[in-house]
Structure 1
């Protein structure tokens, strides 16, 4: 990847990420409160629906930029156009590496955001200060493993499906897809990936919100999933699935459509 492509991925990814995170923030708050161990109404209900938004505003641009720079770089190294068989594997590998890098920025932002979402009487700064005072820097990375374990399967499904749908649409119409068509493909791919990875998202939320020192706070994803299944059954593993699918389908439409649009404008 040359310098121009690097800058295009950086600016397009960062812009797309900031747009989608800020536009869909209320849906994310509803989903987080539904998944909270305290329950929806005790976590704030529909009050303070923008609680935690400063954390998202600060983290969304560098997080999305880091993902797409890594994604495009790994794709370029692996030459996914070498064969149709190799392309999905290359997209999976590129998306996985992108998530590992992006989560270094995303997780601290997510921890502060989610804790503020379920405690709307506290400001983002107060939540950040409390987390650092109680748990130090490690507290900001609680849930890193569970986030990566959620994002990698999600990206395994979303990005190869997105690329496949774009290629299929391009082949059908005889020319590359437009930005709005890329957005439609992104919405479908994102919604499908969101549905199948909801249990991992519930586990990640429980780990981030768990009381320090508890077994859930240790970050063991499988232990968190077992505890949810034991206490709430299968329905507990899929709590919040409707707002998650809605948010990520809309997010996929905005995020991937905006990414392709900004890249095309920077050509």
Structure 2
């Protein structure tokens, strides 16, 4: 079967909203829970107080509860938004412009998903950086000291991190599947989509690490401090001045490893769940 025929068949059988919702939720929960320890190490490496003072390798599962609760709705919202826009816009433009469609759909998906992701990240990362506190204690402390607004500290920074990430990751993932399907002359299997997801995610993670460092510093900063109220550009500039390139890319290895493995699990589970649900 030729690639053009594959594209026609895929267009005729778009992913249903309910399928994207459930498959996204399954994929998000699987990857966040499975790779949580690596995420904890990455967060502590990026902490302003340093890796060992933030907990080192102790309490490696601190904050797991918040991650587990937020994973499903976060991923479900992203994929529902992504699939709806990808199919809605993609059906009206030539295939040559589909990478741009994937960028737009992914960006919209990230903006929507961050409504759930940011509060979860705030609680999770503060619990990761202070193993003496549970996720519930962190939640109560944050709301008590900063109000519900405190749960959305770093929202714009997170969005500004996720959009460039998705701009790179999703078109690379879609391109990888397209090239692979052309080579084998059939639609890609879930494990092949997983490999494409690992490569796309790992590359995107490495490139956008400075944005992730800035986001982490803002979320972990004390309420009322200069860092807490600073913008993305200022934080990156300060890290560059004080710590240089090493500071900007703090945690790049665990972040790249985490998202590479996570991309494999995430996209593999998403495609496998879709095939089962349909």
Q: TM-score w.r.t. structure 1 length? A: 0.98
Q: How many Å separate the matches in 2 of 1:244 and 1:18?
A: 18
Q: Is the 8 A contact 1:145 1:219 kept in 2?
A: no
Deviations along 1:69-127, one digit per CA (max 9) or x if unpaired, are: 00001112102584232100000000000000000000000000000001001111111
Q: Where does residue 23 of structure 1 map in the other structure?
A: 34
Q: Is the 8 A contact 1:146 1:219 kept in 2?
A: no
Measured after TM superposition, the shift of residue 219 of structure 1 is: 4.3
Partner-residue secondary structure (3-state), 2:95 = coil
Alignment partner of 1:217 is 2:228: yes
Q: How many Å separate the matches in 1 of 2:40 and 2:111?
A: 24
Residues 51/42 of structure 1: CA separation in 2 closer, same or farther (3 Å cut): same
Q: Is the 8 A contact 1:81 1:87 kept in 2?
A: no
* Equivalent pairs, count: 267
Greater than 4 Å deviation, 4+ residue runs: 1-4
Residues 212/88 of structure 1: CA separation in 2 closer, same or farther (3 Å cut): same
Q: Is the 8 A contact 2:14 2:87 kept in 1?
A: no
Q: How many Å separate the matches in 2 of 1:3 and 1:163?
A: 15
Q: Is the 8 A contact 1:80 1:90 kept in 2?
A: no
Alignment partner of 1:35 is 2:38: no
Residues 238/80 of structure 1: CA separation in 2 closer, same or farther (3 Å cut): farther
Q: After the TM superposition, which residues 1-267 of structure 1 pair with which residues of structure 2 at under 5 Å, given as runs? A: 5-79=16-90, 82-267=93-278
Partner-residue secondary structure (3-state), 1:85 = helix
> How big is the alpha-carbon RMSD for the aligned residues of Structure 1 and Structure 2?
1.5
Q: How many Å separate the matches in 1 of 2:52 and 2:31?
A: 26
Which segment drifts farther, 207-216 or 105-114?
207-216
Q: Is the 8 A contact 2:23 2:274 kept in 1?
A: yes
Structure 1, unmatched stretches of 5+, are none
Q: How many Å separate the matches in 1 of 2:148 and 2:224?
A: 15
Partner-residue secondary structure (3-state), 2:16 = helix
Deviations along 1:184-228, one digit per CA (max 9) or x if unpaired, are: 000000000001000000000000001111121014000110110
